[in-house]
Chain A
Amino acid sequence: AAGVIQSPRHLIKEKRETATLKCYPIPRHDTVYWYQQGPGQDPQFLISFYEKMQSDKGSIPDRFSAQQFSDYHSELNMSSLELGDSALYFCASSLEQGRSSYEQYFGPGTRLTVT
C-alpha cells in the first residue's frame, strides 16, 4: 500500500539559509499534519491543513510557513534557519478530518541539520 512520502530524507543547511520540505500524502487523504521532533524529544505539532485550508496551528515559528496544494501535497518552508531548528520533521496524513476520528499515517521524516 502507498505510504506518506517525504522529501528530501536528509537536508543539511547553514544558519540563516532557507529550506523547503515536501510531503505527499497517501492517495485520497485530504488532511496533512506537520510535526517536529527534536533530539530526545517527543514530536510536537506544528500545523495542519484540510482541503488546502489551514485547520490548526501549533508551536510553529513565524519564520516557518506551510501550504497544501490542489493535489493535496504540502510544503513546509523554513527561513532564517537557526541551530535549534535541527530536528526530524514528520508529515502525516489522514482522511476526512471533519469526522475527527481517523488514523494518522506518518511519513519517514526529513532529518534537517543546521550548521
Chain B
Amino acid sequence: KQEVTQIPAALSVPEGENLVLNCSFTDSAIYNLQWFRQDPGKGLTSLLLIQSSQREQTSGRLNASLDKSSGRSTLYIAASQPGDSATYLCAVGGATNKLIFGTGTLLAVQP
C-alpha cells in the first residue's frame, strides 16, 4: 500500500528565505507526482506536475524534483513571501491516476 510522508510537518521562515519541502513515498511504481497548495478551509491549487519520466519541473519561484527510484520529491521555493503561507501537499498518481496525498507541510512566512 502506497504511503506518502512529508517533512517537516510545519515550517516557519522569515520573508526572503529559500526553503525546501520534502515528500517521500514507499512504492516507486508511480506515474506522476503533483504538488498542491491549500489555504485554510479552501480548495487545492495545483502547483506543479512531474511525470514519472521527468526529473524536475519549474514554475516561477517554484522548482520540484523527483527521484522515483529513491521514492523522494522536493519542492524548492525561492525568495519566500508572506503570500506563500499555506499548507503544501504532495500527491502521487498511479495507474488509474487516483492521487494518494501526503500529510502536508504547514508553511508560515513571517514578514
Contact = CB atoms under 8 A, between A and B. Distances in A.
A100 B93 contact: yes
Given A56-B96, A101-B32, A107 B43 contact: yes
A51 to B, nearest CB: 13
Nearest to B87: A42
Contacts of A35: 99
Contacts of B81: none
A94 interface: yes
Contact of A108 (B43, B46, B95, B96): B43
B44 interface: yes
> Chain A at the B interface: mostly helix, strand, loop or mixed?
strand
A100 B46 CA distance: 17
A18 to B, nearest CB: 24
Contacts of B100: 45
A48 B100 CA distance: 13
A43 B103 CA distance: 9
A7 B61 CA distance: 33
A105 interface: yes
Interface string A102-114: 1111111101000
B46 A58 contact: no
Contacts of A58: 98
Nearest to A40: B104
Interface in B72-96: 89, 91, 93-96
A72 interface: no
21 contacts: A33-B97, A33-B98, A35-B99, A42-B102, A42-B104, A43-B44, A43-B89, A43-B91, A45-B100, A48-B96, A48-B97, A48-B98, A56-B96, A90-B43, A97-B97, A101-B51, A104-B46, A104-B97, A106-B44, A107-B43, A111-B41
Interface of B: 31-32, 34, 36, 41-46, 49, 51-52, 89, 91, 93-104
